[in-house]
Structure 1
Amino acid sequence: MLWEGDTLLQVGARALAILSTLTEAPGRLVPKHELLERAWPDGRVDEANLKVQISTLRRALRGFEGLIRAEASLGYRFLGETAPRNPDRNIPRRRFSMPRLLTQPIGRDNVVADIVRLLKENRLVTVLGPGGIGKTTVALAIAHRLPDTIADETCFVDLNSIERDDQLYGAVARALNFPVGEAPTLEQIQVALQGRSLFLVFDPCEHVTDAVALMVEHVLGFSDQVRILVTSRESLRIGAEFVWHLEPLEVPPPSLIDTAANAARYSAVQLFTRTAAEVSGDFAFDDESAPAIVELCRRLDGIPLAIKTAASMVGTLDIGEICRGLDQRLSLLEPDRQAAKPGQRSLVSTLDSSYDLLPYNERAVLRRLAHFAGAFTLDAAVAVVGDDTMDASVVREAVVALANKSFLIVNHQTRPPEYRLFETVRAYAATSFRAG
């Protein structure tokens, strides 16, 4: 038997073992073999028995059966939130301005768990990566999963709503529901945070990096009970910062495009198929469509927002047509200008906002770097990009700056290091070049 709120659920030991495993880390994809091992530790058992126990749990959770979700043929997730039944701690952790996590992130379970562990030892973690790689989704997953032992309160500060450095304190005060005037001071923010065990999330920060860095450094200096997570294209460059480079979703290697079953093991493919199934009831992921989908995910560098944008086209275009359209570059970007849903940032608007933050020289260099179809060295960039109006030192400084701002992928395993544009950034830069 198991208590769910005020309801007594009557389930057997096998079902209870499965539920306990699922709720140990809400949102994590638990493979079938792990559930089988926990529920039947004494020996092998057919997967049909697992389905029977899952059905039993869903019936017991009547009205909330959707909390247990099957992920294709991979396993199951528990989508709810859990808390220990502790009579001495009846007040749940307070959350301020916390957006809902509408969908569970795919391929980020280990990342979220690792950053949660980092936050136990480090008071400032910056999640770094290019636009569209899923920094906000990861930050939300961390905020929802962070244990009460780390902080009593969580506050999510959405910085998309501000444009200037001097608006930062107001955004923080509003997120905390702190009654201050239109232009609160840092001292007033300090009063609002004084003595509070708080987890602060700043998302995203690249357009107000200097102001966030100054504030974060001050907050960490006057309070030892505040922990901070920052998402940005570039680091804050302050002493206490631990930088986590968020990698793209995993894509199958070039040799693995033979079957849908093999391709489905990779998170980029999982995201594509989930999104495609949501927009088209006729979508079928099988051995015939798998090679094209794998190629699409690979050419999009495993960038979640780019993959979702491409997958959203399956309702009107064939997979092969979407793949062929990548060669035209605009095919991935132009429909997106009209397709953004209210409250959601589109791929092109994400690229627009990042590009607009660049100084003139870096914009010019980025546009010219779009001529490279693959990897290039710094010397090659100077040779191709430089001209009478832009000497070698300007090009070198711009390339390094673009790499620091997550516009370029850097391979430090080669000598000299090689740079490469994300395919979506290359397409965007080429579009910007044609637009002048």
Structure 2
Amino acid sequence: MADPETQLRGGPLCFGPFRLSPGERLLTKDGEPVEIGGRSFDLLVVLTEQPGRVLSKRELLKRVWPDVIVEDGSLRFHMAALRKLLGDGTDGARYIATQIGVGYAFVSPIERQGAPVPEVVTRPLAGDIRVPARLPHLIGRERDVAFLMERVIDTPLFSIVGAAGLGKTSLAIELGHRLAPAFANRVAFVDFSMLENPAIVPSMIAGAMGVTDRRNDPLAAILEHIGHEPFLLILDNCEHLIEQAASVAERIVSEAPGARIVSTSREPLRIRDEHVLRLEALEFPGELDGRTLEELRAFPAVRLFCERATAADSALTIDYEAMQLIAQMCRRLGGLALPIELAAVRAATHGIVATARQLGERFSLVWPGRRTAQPRQQTMQAMLDWSYDLLSPAEQVVLERISVFVGPFSIDAAVEVVADAGILADEVAAAMDSLTSKSLLVPDTSRRTSTYRLLEMTRAYAREKLALRGRDAQREIARRHANYFLGELEAAEEAINLPQGTGQLRLQLGNIRNALDWSFGSQGDPKIAIPLAAVSAPLFLALSHRIECRAWCSRALERIREYPCDDSLKTQLEAAFRIAG
């Protein structure tokens, strides 16, 4: 049952027509006693202790059933009974909000009767830092921590923006602990991943700060609590509540001059006074040739993989060959912390070689992580489901269709492949911008022509989503993709033997190979396959890929027997076949 000492503290609580007296274990409605079971009463007491705060199922079970082991079903049963008793949902009355898969929050305004109490509960005592425990050490983020520690103190709002699984939350938690002395330990951390209802964002912030609202205006209570003194507020996982989080943050920084807010999200809040740190991936080796084992281990992404893998299997040994595979996996995972950790745990149980081979395949999306992690951080599938569900229908379609690209691709290529009667070219471009701002699409502006790419696990996930649209949808996108690169190679035929022409096309080898694979496959189109093999042959020869050139030319010449084509194509293929030999 609930803590007796907590129950007895303070006077009765009033909400709606109800009056709750924890010390007397009495609930009345309009002055009349209400028959309520003991467990339901304890649940109500625990929920009303911290109105607006989402209490996890685990926390509720621990508080209400401290001495027995019960299933989630018991909690759901008693919660349903409590809601029915309160008339929750009847005539607009609303008392308990459910955050699916997480827990429950009491959302009705509460007044405490008895001895006069201040409208806002007193501030936490010095040393009461309301921030989760930090990691023993944060790998590869020393520069980011130093930068934020210098800037946050003098900046009203700093947003840490980046892709899912990049380590934004860990960085924010570390920052909260490091900066606590500068704010006299007045620091609060709000995890919005547990919240689905935007309407109770202010209440959840108040609950995380230890503020109880007596006037049904949690934002006013928050501002009064902060006052003019320094206060650091960390708003984590804002992406699915971006508008409400932005509105509350702007109000706080404009009316509480001592407040400093650090937010984490897939995209900026886009409000006044916001500064943004776009968090980069952990550094990983681009090229492996000539690097020693220790040089590879020095890269933060590789170091994180090794630490997590050896923690999962202390007997695991990592030799030079294994270290090279680990470095390659870190590169394929784009230096993202969460996927690296998931792959490392997999490597500890199934071996480094097998993990490297399976990486990026469909089933690698469900490799499990820590049991105690948030549900959306336990697998790559769950993490990407979270991001995908926040996209608009147009953004979802664009993400699925661009999964046909392997490696870098241009905006022109995306428009050519993705756009059709259902989604126009300007909508594709707008969706690409949005996917980039939400960190699902990675831009590369280092070259003369800007390109984009999908991280390998994101691409695997998007391919699965595209497959759900049906075989015809997959075939049409693959056909457009192959047609596009057929046209590109035809247009570049004269430039292939020039250094700059070969250099640009070298970047598209993944896409060209993908187009050839599909064209010659069971679902492919010989009318694309044969000319594509012919126009790609000069590129393979220019790059000294003679064996590959000969293989594609051979397949094309075999197809010509079934699908006659222009004599010039046959001559071109035969010549390339001989040269490659």
Q: TM-score normalized by structure 2? A: 0.57
Say whether the 8 Å CA contact 2:180–2:187 is kept in structure 1: no
Offset at 1:195? Answer: 3.0
1:409 aligned to which of 438, 442, 456? 442
Q: Secondary structure at the match of 1:172?
A: helix
SS of structure 1 residue aligned to 2:189: strand
Q: 1:387 to 1:250 in 2, by over 3 A?
A: same
Whether contact under 8 Å (2:301, 2:337) holds in the other structure is: yes
- Report if aligned partners of 1:196, 1:225 keep a CA contact under 8 Å in 2: yes
Match of 2:363 among 316, 331, 334: 331
Answering whether residue 159 of structure 2 is matched by residue 126 of structure 1, we say: yes
What SS does the aligned partner of 1:202 have?
Answer: strand
Instruction: Find out whether 1:279 has 2:340 as its counterpart.
Output: no
Any idea what the Cα deviations from partners look like across 1:273-318, whole Å, max 9, x if unmatched?
A: 0000111122112213111111111111110001000000123312
Distance 2:266 2:143 in 1: 21
Q: How much does 1:108 deviate?
A: 0.7
Query: Partner of 2:178 in structure 1?
Result: 145
Aligned mate of 1:355, from 373, 380, 388: 388
2:213 and 2:287 map into 1 onto residues whose CA distance is 56
Query: Matched residues in 1 for 2:192 and 2:215: separation?
Result: 16
SS at match of 2:347: coil
Tell me, in whole angstroms, the C-alpha distance in 1 between the residues paired with 2:177 and 2:203. Answer: 24
Equivalenced residues, count: 342
Which residue matches 1:95? 129
Q: Which residue of 2 aligns with 1:262?
A: 295
Which of 319, 341, 347 pairs up with 2:371? 341
1:351–1:181 CA distance, 2 compared to 1 (3 A): farther
Shift of 1:159: 0.8
Alignment of 1:180-259 (within 5 A): 180=213, 184-256=217-289, 258-259=291-292
CA–CA distance in structure 1, aligned partners of residues 357 and 215 of structure 2? 51
**Same amino acid, percent of matched pairs:** 32
Which structure: greater helix fraction? 2
Paired amino acid for 2:225 = A
Letter in structure 2 aligned against 1:166: A
The separation in 2 between residues aligned to 1:395 and 1:236, in whole angstroms, is 23
Preserved contact between residue 283 and residue 314 of structure 1 (Cα < 8 Å): no
Higher gyration radius (CA): 2
User: Structure 1 residues 310, 181: CA separation in 2 closer, same or farther (over 3 Å shift)?
Assistant: farther
Aligned partner of residue 320 in structure 2, secondary structure:
coil
Q: Could you tell me whether the CA contact under 8 Å between 1:124 and 1:242 is conserved in 2?
A: yes
Distance of 2:227 and 2:418 partners within structure 1: 51
Match of 1:317 in 2: 350
Q: Which residue of 2 aligns with 1:26?
A: none
Give, in angstroms, the shift of residue 435 of structure 1: 3.3
CA distance in 2, matches of 1:415, 1:391: 26
* Residue of structure 2 in register with 1:105 after alignment: 138
Shift of 1:420: 1.1
1:124: how far off?
0.9
Closer, same or farther: CA 148–256 of 1 in aligned 2, 3 Å: farther
Structure 1 contact 132–305 (Cα < 8 Å) conserved: yes
Q: Is the 8 A contact 1:199 1:228 kept in 2?
A: yes
Letter in 2 for 1:341: R
Structure 2: which amino acid aligns with 1:117?
E
| Cα distance in 2 between the residues matched to 1:331 and 1:259 | 32
Matching residue's letter, 2:426:
S
Query: Which aligned pairs between 1:41-52 and structure 2 lie closer than 5 A?
Result: none
Contact 1:93–1:154 (CA under 8 A) maintained in structure 2:
no
Cα drift, residue 251 of structure 1: 0.3
Matches within 5 A, 1:149-164: 149-164=182-197
Structure 1, 176-185 or 304-313: larger mean CA deviation: 176-185
Q: In the aligned structure 2, how far is the partner of 1:405 from the partner of 1:330? A: 23
Matched to 2:339, the amino acid is A
Could you list the per-position Cα deviations for residues 157-188 of structure 1 after superposition, in whole angstroms to 9, with x for gaps in the alignment? Answer: 11112112201011111101112269644223
What pairs up with 1:18-37 in 2 under 5 angstroms?
none
Distance 1:147 1:256 in 2: 44
Query: What secondary structure is seen at the aligned counterpart in 2 of 1:138?
Result: helix
Deviation at 1:102, TM superposition (A): 3.6
The residue identity in structure 1 corresponding to 2:371 is K
CA 1:276–1:417 in 2, change beyond 3 Å: closer, same or farther? same
**SS of equivalent to 1:110:** helix
What letter is aligned with 2:232?
F
Q: Measure, in 1, the Cα distance between the counterparts of 2:230 and 2:172.
A: 18
CA change 1:244–1:179 in 2 (3 A) is same
Give, in angstroms, the shift of residue 147 of structure 1.
Answer: 5.2
Secondary structure at 1:370 match in 2: helix
Q: Deviations over 1:300-353 (max 9, x none)?
A: 1110001000000123312111111125x21321233xx551343223222111
Q: Mark the CA change 1:365 to 1:196 in structure 2 (over 3 Å): closer, same or farther.
A: same
Judged with a 3 Å threshold, the aligned counterparts in structure 2 of structure 1 residues 414 and 313 are, in CA distance, closer, same or farther, namely same
Aligned residue type for 1:363: Q
Residue in structure 2 matched with residue 427 of structure 1 by the alignment: 460
Aligned partner of residue 390 in structure 1, secondary structure: coil
Q: Over aligned residues, Cα RMSD in angstroms?
A: 1.8
Q: Which one-letter code corresponds to 2:446 in the other structure?
A: Q
